Homo-oligomer: A and B are copies of this chain.
Amino acid sequence: MALKVGVIGTGMIGQDHIRRLTQVLSGVDVTAVTDIDATRAASAAPEGAEVFATPQDLIRSDNVDAIVICSWGPAHEEQLLDCIAAGKAVFCEKPLVTSEAAALKVMAAEVEFGKRLVQVGFMRRFDADYRRLKAVIDGNTLGAPLMYKSVHRNASVPEGLYTSEMPLNDTLVHDADISRWLLSDEISSVEVRVPRRSTRGTDLRDPVMVMLHMQSGAIVDVEISVNISYGYDIRGEVSCETGVAALPNRPATVISDQYGIRQAIPEDWRERFIEAYDQEFREWIVAAGQGGATGPSTWDGYAATLVADAALRAVDTGAREPITMIEKPEIYS
């Protein structure tokens, strides 16, 4: 029996997920869509799918087993609460919500429901390179992780649309989430340093360097460069007590020519993480089919909200901004 999925929000990312769910993956049917723009919803709807006027109608439909939320961030809170009220599994794109208060509210509802229903779209956790890296650390052959270097380089951002807050509240959350996951740890405080500015981004605060202090004492050092021109280059290296483990080069052809011996670098996040997105939904389909969720949870979305808030404070104060989390509800352990 295929999982009947309703998609809320049929913009670029929603359309891409509809393509994935209908053309790439098995065990799933997109039976319903909705969007604030009804025309867009209609044109994005796959054959046989019903177009709903509102997210609420879609969520409550008997023809919908599970929901994928691709609407804009401020709408997530209400939609998530509706899904939980309906007792339906839901995949929610980043950000989970846009405030700590909202995260706590969604978490409280899910805890009251009694088990996980929500999965958040931190797709890096489904990337094969990151998974192998985590397996090495968890295998503990190198001792405890003491430092982690996360490098997040983006070729370019749209001038004007991308603001100086975004490296911290939009880009950093990926590094923060993957750090928590790789190190099996929580972030206790955040520092931000602003190096010499790149001349490529005019007024943009770019690059930035962020330090995440983990509860274990491990320090994560993040380089975020959003206008580095040469490609989308994601790096990660964990320094442990007796060895180091790092993400490899991406598997591009090794060419020897007038430019040297070389391998291409991905152009953008689509190229880099396309398999991770597929895998993310592959595993969600299985979990949602059993009425639950897997991978990144409401708790992880809550943590991401806290770290983005703390980073924004830290860039203003120059200080080490603490993060205080509530006690972790049992359903997330």
Known: A219-B209, A225-B239. A244 touches B248 (CB 8 A): no
Task: Contact check, B265 vs A263: say whether CB atoms are below 8 A apart.
Answer: no
**A186 on the B face (CB < 8 A):** no
Please state if B255 and A265 are interface contacts (CB–CB under 8 Å). no
Q: How far is A217 from B143 in the complex, measured between Cα atoms in Å?
A: 35
- The complex is assembled from copies of this chain, and their number is 4
A290 within 8 A of B: no
Verify B260–A263 contact, CB threshold 8 A: yes
Instruction: Given A128-B251, A248-B263, check contact A195 B209 (CB 8 Å).
Output: no
Q: How far is the CA of A261 from the CA of B250 in the complex (A)?
A: 10
Which residue of the partner chain, among B144, B195, B216, B251, contacts A146 with CB atoms under 8 Å? B195
Q: Which residues of A from 212 to 267 have beta carbons under 8 Å from B?
A: 213-214, 216-219, 221, 223, 225, 228-231, 233, 239, 241-265
From A141, which residue of chain B is reached at the shortest CB distance? B257
Chain A 180-212 interface residues, beta-carbon cutoff 8 Å to B:
193, 195-200, 207, 209, 211
Contact status B241-A248, CB under 8 Å:
no
- Least Cβ–Cβ distance between A37 and chain B, in angstroms: 28
Decide if A81 is an interface residue (CB 8 Å cutoff): no
Query: Does A77 touch B at the CB level, under 8 Å?
Result: no
The interface residues of chain B lying within 8 Å CB-to-CB of A250 are 251
Neighbouring B residues of A196 by C-beta, 8 Å? 144, 146, 214, 216-219
Contacting residues, chain B, for A135 (C-beta < 8 A): 253
Residues of B within 8 A of A209 (CB): 147, 219, 221
Does B246 lie within 8 Å of A230, measured CB to CB? Answer: no
Asked if A242 contacts B218 (CB within 8 A), the reply is no
* Contact residues in B for A24 (Cβ distance below 8 Å): 26
Kindly list chain B residues whose C-beta atoms are within 8 Å of the C-beta of A252.
132, 248, 260
B199 contacts A143, C-beta separation under 8 Å: yes
Question: What are 24 contact pairs spanning A and B, CB under 8 A?
Answer: A26-B28, A143-B198, A144-B196, A144-B198, A146-B225, A147-B223, A149-B149, A153-B244, A193-B213, A195-B217, A223-B239, A228-B239, A230-B242, A230-B258, A231-B256, A242-B258, A243-B256, A243-B257, A245-B254, A245-B256, A259-B259, A260-B264, A261-B263, A261-B265
Expressed in whole angstroms, the minimum distance between the Cβ of A150 and any Cβ of chain B is 12
Q: Report Cα–Cα, A174/B128, bound state, in Å.
A: 26
A254 to B247, CA, bound (A): 6
Picked from B142, B216, B219, the residue with its CB within 8 Å of the CB of A257 is: B142
A142 close to B255 (CB less than 8 A): yes
